[in-house]
Structure 1
Amino acid sequence: MKQSSLGHQARKRFGQNFLQNPGIIRRIIRAIHPKPGQHLVEIGPGLGALTEELLAAAGELDVVELDRDLIPILRTQFFRYEQNFRIHEADALKFDFAQLANDERPLRVVGNLPYNISTPLIFHLLSHSGLIEDMYFMLQKEVVERLAAHPGDSAYGRLSIMAQYYCEVSNLFLVGPEAFHPKPKVDSAIVKLKPYPTPPHLADNPKDFETLVRTAFTQRRKTLRNNLKQLLPVELIEEVGIDPGIRPERISLPEFVTLANRYSLYLQQQSQSESENTHE
């Protein structure tokens, strides 16, 4: 359904590019394979291109939409689903997805995400990964490449490591600009993120892991030694068998977990030492 048929102009400030290619829509729905009884959540339904198919297949849907002008359009379009179509007028970046997990069913999250918020939104959703069965997103191609990148790839970085720590990442297929109205200036891609029940490489303290990874990539062209000097003595990096003279994009996820666990132990030892000194 084209935006002109409903009189809604895509808004640049919301990063709106409405999907309108029926072939691409069908291909996305085949990948998601929604079924009755599943708890589906759509972020940014726009004019309902995917919404129509998701509702038809699953029979119920929660949607999170920020643009209040779209909400009456969506209510009118899907009025026949009544209470099974639930609209949450909210900014997905601030939305508490835990409030949707009100029964035993895990969430299946879908979205054609605005390019300008896609990375922080993925980090926000990863914080709810324990409630989520899987996620299917339309993103800028470069973001999907970053999510799926391996050590040594130019796209490999903090987003790659954090997404792959929590999820199995699958780069599914490309979508060209002509599938949208208005046409974006970049190519898009569909990615699947499937959270692990338990991460295969488990950090002792996930917060310390996040801190270490974020700090390691503060300046990509600098070495691990330079980026981590405020967190971890260089001899402790060497102690776990990692060369402090290499750049962070050369470090694998298991190595980052090992390094983070050493960092957590170091913090505990520092705290214990300070406590002992206080009581002397």
Structure 2
Amino acid sequence: MNRPHSKLAQETSHKARKRFGQNFLIDQGIIHGIVDAVNPRPGERVVEIGPGLGALTQPLLERAGHLHVVELDRDLIARLEKKYTRAQMTIHAGDALVFDFAALGPDLRVVGNLPYNISTPILFHLLDKVEAIRDIHVMLQKEVVDRMVAPPGHSDRSRLSVMLQRYCYLEPLLDVPPESFDPAPKVNSAVVRMIPRPLADRVPVDETALRQVVNAAFSQRRKMVRNTLKPLLSSEQIEAAGVDPTERAEQLSEADFVALAKQLA
């Protein structure tokens, strides 16, 4: 069965570069599904991470009227500069891992087919700017999305689950098979929506202490927290937080980790 290809992918001779983790989206059905999910409106501040060959870029731009893009590949930047005017697009040449998204202004809408080799660091980088963001729609490896949304007690629960769920409401939107890309990756992908939680919805806690506790708890996920947290907290302190020291990290809720962080702080 033939898959629907992007016209842009057929027209360009650009070769995907492994060092940039490039896999170009070519399935028109998936492209339209993502853009419909974002549903950008004229005047909104939209930024695309890694526009690549522009599969999402063009339909996003048609709806928003103007687009910010963050791109590292100089050849792709040159293509964008030839195709779009400055009135249509503001190009930020550089690495999304160090780009200051908050500098674009408030109420930012972030979209991207993230390079799988750096997707988790990018997500944590966006968390640091979460107060400036309205929503995030990104494509990632499906197994990463599964970890992001995993509830307490689920085997996929991880450090990523706890920290992202503290800052954002998460909603899986689309599953994307390998043949939707060129070149096709060896893994399945998925699109997820992230909407930052209001500050009032987050229980106040020392964020550094929270990250220390979460990182330590998941460092050896098969062990009980009385063992993984030993360098930070005693069994008595764990119990004082209302947590059973024989539990494993994946069984704990955000409230449990906040209570443990308060013991540490």
Alignment deviations for residues 168-207 of structure 1 (CA, whole Å, 9 cap, x no partner): 0101120111111111111110000100121624132112
- Taking the TM superposition and a 5 Å limit, the aligned residue runs for 1:1-280 are 1-79=7-85, 82-101=86-105, 105-198=106-199, 200-264=201-265
| Paired amino acid for 1:100 | L
Contact 2:167/2:202 (<8 A) preserved: no
Q: Bigger CA drift: 154-163 or 92-101? A: 92-101
Contact 2:46/2:110 (<8 A) preserved: yes
1:73 and 1:158 map into 2 onto residues whose CA distance is: 38
- With normalisation by structure 1, the TM-score equals 0.90
Question: CA 1:19/1:199 → structure 2, altered by over 3 Å: closer, same or farther?
Answer: farther
| Paired amino acid for 1:143 | V
Contact 1:157/1:249 (<8 A) preserved: yes
- Please state how far the C-alpha of 1:29 moved relative to its aligned partner: 0.7
Contact 1:203/1:261 (<8 A) preserved: no
Identity %: 52
- Please state how far the C-alpha of 1:45 moved relative to its aligned partner: 0.2
Q: Bigger CA drift: 18-27 or 200-209? A: 200-209
> For 1:171, what is the secondary structure of its paired residue?
strand
Alignment deviations for residues 200-240 of structure 1 (CA, whole Å, 9 cap, x no partner): 24132112111111111111111101111111121011012
Segments of structure 2 that go 5 or more residues without pairing to the other structure are: 1-6
1:218 and 1:203 map into 2 onto residues whose CA distance is: 24
| Paired amino acid for 2:241 | V
> For 2:199, what is the secondary structure of its paired residue?
coil
| Paired amino acid for 1:114 | P
> For 2:233, what is the secondary structure of its paired residue?
coil
> For 2:40, what is the secondary structure of its paired residue?
coil
> For 1:133, what is the secondary structure of its paired residue?
strand
> For 2:139, what is the secondary structure of its paired residue?
strand
Contact 2:242/2:259 (<8 A) preserved: no
2:153 and 2:83 map into 1 onto residues whose CA distance is: 47
Question: CA 1:198/1:176 → structure 2, altered by over 3 Å: closer, same or farther?
Answer: same
> For 1:94, what is the secondary structure of its paired residue?
coil
2:262 and 2:104 map into 1 onto residues whose CA distance is: 33
Structure 2 partner of 1:267: none
Q: Bigger CA drift: 116-125 or 252-261? A: 252-261
Contact 2:149/2:161 (<8 A) preserved: yes
- Please state how far the C-alpha of 1:2 moved relative to its aligned partner: 4.3
- Please state how far the C-alpha of 1:117 moved relative to its aligned partner: 0.4
| Paired amino acid for 1:83 | A
Contact 2:8/2:54 (<8 A) preserved: no
- Please state how far the C-alpha of 1:84 moved relative to its aligned partner: 3.6
1:155 and 1:200 map into 2 onto residues whose CA distance is: 24
1:52 and 1:199 map into 2 onto residues whose CA distance is: 37
Contact 1:203/1:209 (<8 A) preserved: no
1:209 and 1:199 map into 2 onto residues whose CA distance is: 17
Contact 2:224/2:247 (<8 A) preserved: yes
Segments of structure 1 that go 5 or more residues without pairing to the other structure are: 265-280
* Equivalences, count: 259
Contact 1:201/1:257 (<8 A) preserved: no
